[in-house]
């Protein structure tokens, strides 16, 4: 790809002096997302409210797309510079390009009265940009190219522009968020979907699971019952937080409790714990057998909430979560890939398991079963009625991990081992950070497949009760990272520490 990416940022001076940042990129839509992310982050830092940040991003995106469609024609990669000038009352953006000449006096138009005919027109892009900015102007510079100027003023003064009283300590600790006053937790409505997506963005940026950023997908998953969202709203109907049960269609008696999101201004009042407890009670009301959570190991808060509501540690997924997750006040931006502690809660009386536990993990599995209140009688499980193998592999790009599930190994154990071998090779070529293998302990052949996985470099992950509708899973993991996954790992209980030490010993034995 031709061209180069160059970014020059000038540090803002004292109050009253403008700051400036220039970004130069090859013309082309491939580079636009990085510019848009920078523009929105800059707007947030300058004190624009969320609505204004989104308007700045929208206007810049529409104009870049307009230029891409009308000025950047041909195989050459002409340079494109976006200059950001910060001011006391707002932000000016200048797009400078040297593509095909445009007639700035006869730019495409758009009429709201003809929305169906003009919906895909270039005039719509200009109409949207002008509608959300204070000024949008096109300046023909002749041989110097075209300059597009966008101005957006803040609706209120930024805190940096306000002079603090002389007796105000500059390093005063951050005050608690606003009082919650009256709020209630209720099932989400379809009209809440957009606010749920925005709440996720406000807390995690774009580092959370992909579906949460698509309001239509959030609404559809709730309609289908695959997602059971709960939201906390105040008397003004402002969404303060969200929590959900995620139910897999192949295992409807079990759910994952997750997507616990509390907007920054409502943190440190126990709202996250209240949402968590409400989700547990909702699971009981739905008649579910059990629920699990994947608590981050970059801090202890979520693990502690799970423990306090009855969840028990049972597996440690190394290198599970994306890089650069920002936990805000819970722990800040994490330096590498965080791991996930699987914690499980039984909602109904458990049945005794009749299992043939793999010898290499027998003692640890028995301890995990006992810790989770499940009785085990060791014996060879009866053969399943259906001998058809059920082996599948799922890849999760946002996490850069894969999950291999051996729900039913089938009568040909060699075929299952061959599936394991070929899948691991392919996933390693794709540079997946971690591969997790779930083996159904209720079916014959689990020991054979576990031994084969160990020979391929898999180590223990732990136990996953009710992972399948027909049984529990032994979970193993193949970690495909050069970094040490234990360097920033924090656990909350003695049982979790014992599991961590067992897995760490296995990890070091491979190094």
CATH number of the domain residue 154 falls in: 3.30.565.10
Please tell me the predicted confidence (pLDDT) of residue 457.
95
Residue at 1 is within a domain: no
Q: The tokens of 292 are what?
A: 């699990």
Q: What is the mean pLDDT of residues 49-67?
A: 87
Of 217, 199, 323, give the one whose Cα is nearest residue 262: 199
Q: Residues 94, 233: one domain?
A: no
* HSE toward the beta carbon, residue 61, CA cutoff 13 A: 15
Higher pLDDT, 170 or 496: 496
Please tell me the predicted confidence (pLDDT) of residue 326.
52
Please tell me the predicted confidence (pLDDT) of residue 307.
92
Q: Residues 317, 367: one domain?
A: no
Higher pLDDT, 63 or 463: 463
Is 452's pLDDT higher than 90?
yes
Neighbours of 210 (CB within 10 A): 12
Q: What is the mean pLDDT of residues 228-239?
A: 92
For the chain, what is the domain count? 3
Q: Residues 396, 470: one domain?
A: yes
Compute the distance between CA of residue 473 and CA of residue 196 in angstroms, rounded to an integer.
32
Q: Which distant-in-sequence residues (6+ apart) come within 8 Å of 137 by Cβ?
A: 148, 149
Residue at 148 is within a domain: yes
DSSP assignments along 330-354, one per residue: GT-B-SSPPPEEEEEEE-SPPPPEE
Q: What is the domain-level CATH number for residue 241?
A: 3.40.630.30
Q: Residues 325, 462: one domain?
A: no
Q: CA-CA-CA-CA torsion for 153, 158, 163, 164, nearest 10 degrees?
A: 160
Of 154, 187, 177, give the one whose Cα is nearest residue 271: 177
Higher pLDDT, 227 or 143: 227
pLDDT above 70 as % of the chain: 84
pLDDT in tens, 145-194: 889 999 998 775 432 333 333 333 333 333 444 556 688 999 999 999 99
Q: What is the mean pLDDT of residues 194-210?
A: 82
* Mean of pLDDT over the chain: 83
pLDDT in tens, 371-401: 999 999 988 877 766 678 899 999 987 788 9
Domain endpoint, select from 160, 191, 210:
160
Instruction: Note if the pTM is more than 0.75.
Output: no
Phi, psi of 34 (to 5 degrees): -65, -40
Q: Tell how far CA 219 is from the center of its chain.
A: 18
Q: Residues 88, 197: one domain?
A: no
Domain endpoint, select from 307, 328, 346:
346
Contact 78, 65 (CB under 8 A): no
Residue at 51 is within a domain: yes
* pLDDT class of 506 with cuts at 50, 70, 90: very high
Compute the distance between CA of residue 271 and CA of residue 360 in angstroms, rounded to an integer.
43
Q: Residues 325, 368: one domain?
A: no
Q: Residues 138, 234: one domain?
A: no
* pLDDT class of 20 with cuts at 50, 70, 90: confident
Contact 4, 19 (CB under 8 A): no
Among the ranges given (99-103, 253-257, 275-279), the one the predictor scored with the smallest mean pLDDT:
99-103
Please tell me the predicted confidence (pLDDT) of residue 18.
59
**Containing domain of residue 155, as a range?**
6-160
Parallel, antiparallel, or unpaired: how do β-strands 254-262 and 290-296 relate?
parallel
Q: The tokens of 62 are what?
A: 């529409």
Q: Residues 231, 149: one domain?
A: no
pLDDT in tens, 319-358: 998 775 555 444 455 567 889 999 999 999 888 999 989 9
Q: What is the mean pLDDT of residues 5-10?
A: 46
Domain endpoint, select from 326, 346, 366:
346
pLDDT above 90 as % of the chain: 47
17-26, 198-207, 476-485: which is most confident? 476-485
Residue at 466 is within a domain: yes
Residue at 172 is within a domain: no
Residue at 281 is within a domain: yes
* CA pseudo-torsion sign 154, 157, 158, 160: positive
Q: Residues 413, 285: one domain?
A: no
Please tell me the predicted confidence (pLDDT) of residue 241.
94
Please tell me the predicted confidence (pLDDT) of residue 399.
85
Is 76's pLDDT higher than 80?
no
Q: What is the mean pLDDT of residues 290-313?
A: 90
Is 10's pLDDT higher than 50?
no
Please tell me the predicted confidence (pLDDT) of residue 391.
94
Q: Residues 318, 382: one domain?
A: no
Higher pLDDT, 338 or 506: 506
Among the ranges given (18-27, 429-438, 473-482), the one the predictor scored with the smallest mean pLDDT:
18-27
Among the ranges given (76-80, 171-175, 208-212, 355-359), the one the predictor scored with the smallest mean pLDDT:
171-175
Q: Residues 246, 330: one domain?
A: yes
Among the ranges given (85-94, 215-224, 241-250, 327-336), the one the predictor scored with the smallest mean pLDDT:
327-336
Q: Residues 242, 361: one domain?
A: no
Please tell me the predicted confidence (pLDDT) of residue 276.
94
């Amino acid at each position: 790809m031709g061209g180069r990416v160059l970014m020059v940022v000038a540090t803002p001076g004292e109050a009253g002096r403008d700051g400036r940042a220039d970004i130069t990129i090859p013309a082309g839509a491939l580079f636009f997302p990085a510019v848009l992310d920078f523009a929105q982050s800059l707007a947030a830092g300058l004190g624009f409210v969320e609505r204004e940040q989104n308007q700045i991003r929208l206007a810049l995106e529409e104009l870049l797309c307009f230029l891409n469609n009308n000025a950047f024609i041909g195989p050459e990669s002409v340079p494109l510079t976006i200059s950001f000038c910060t001011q006391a009352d707002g932000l000016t953006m200048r797009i400078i390009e040297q593509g095909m000449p445009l007639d700035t006096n006869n730019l495409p138009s758009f009429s709201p009265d003809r929305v169906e005919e003009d919906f895909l027109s270039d005039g719509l892009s200009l109409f949207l940009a002008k509608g959300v900015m204070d000024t949008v102007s096109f300046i023909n510079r002749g041989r110097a190219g075209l300059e597009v100027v966008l101005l957006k003023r803040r609706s209120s003064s930024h805190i940096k522009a306000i002079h603090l009283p002389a007796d105000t300590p500059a390093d005063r600790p951050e005050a608690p968020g606003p009082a919650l006053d009256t709020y209630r937790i209720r099932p989400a409505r379809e009209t809440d979907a957009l606010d749920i997506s925005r709440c996720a963005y406000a807390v995690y940026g774009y580092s959370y699971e992909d579906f949460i950023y698509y309001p239509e997908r959030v609404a559809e998953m709730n309609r289908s019952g695959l997602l059971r969202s709960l939201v906390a709203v105040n008397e003004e109907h402002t969404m303060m937080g969200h929590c959900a049960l995620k139910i897999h269609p192949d295992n409807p008696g079990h759910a994952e409790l997750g997507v616990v999101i509390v907007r920054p201004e409502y943190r440190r009042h126990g709202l996250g714990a209240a949402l968590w407890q409400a989700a547990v009670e909702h699971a009981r009301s739905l008649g579910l057998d059990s629920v699990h959570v994947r608590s981050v190991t970059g801090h202890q808060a979520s693990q502690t909430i799970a423990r306090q509501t009855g969840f028990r540690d049972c597996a440690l997924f190394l290198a599970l979560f994306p890089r650069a997750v920002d936990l805000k006040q819970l722990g800040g931006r994490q330096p590498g890939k965080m791991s996930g502690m699987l914690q499980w809660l039984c909602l109904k009386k458990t049945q005794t398991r009749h299992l043939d536990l793999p010898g290499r993990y027998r003692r640890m599995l028995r301890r995990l079963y006992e810790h989770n209140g499940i009785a085990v009688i060791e014996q060879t499980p009866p053969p399943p009625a259906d001998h058809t193998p059920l082996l599948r592999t799922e890849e999760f790009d946002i996490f850069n991990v894969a999950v291999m599930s051996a729900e039913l190994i089938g009568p040909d154990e060699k075929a299952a081992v061959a599936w394991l071998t070929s899948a691991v090779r392919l996933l390693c070529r794709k540079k997946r950070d971690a591969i997790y293998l779930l083996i159904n302990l209720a079916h014959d052949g689990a020991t054979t497949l576990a031994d084969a996985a160990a020979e391929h470099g898999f180590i223990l992950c732990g136990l996953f009760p009710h992972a399948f509708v027909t049984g529990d899973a032994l979970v193993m993991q193949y970690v495909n990272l050069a970094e040490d996954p234990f360097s920033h790992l924090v656990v909350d209980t003695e049982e979790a520490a014992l599991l961590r030490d067992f897995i760490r010993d296995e990890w070091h034995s491979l190094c």
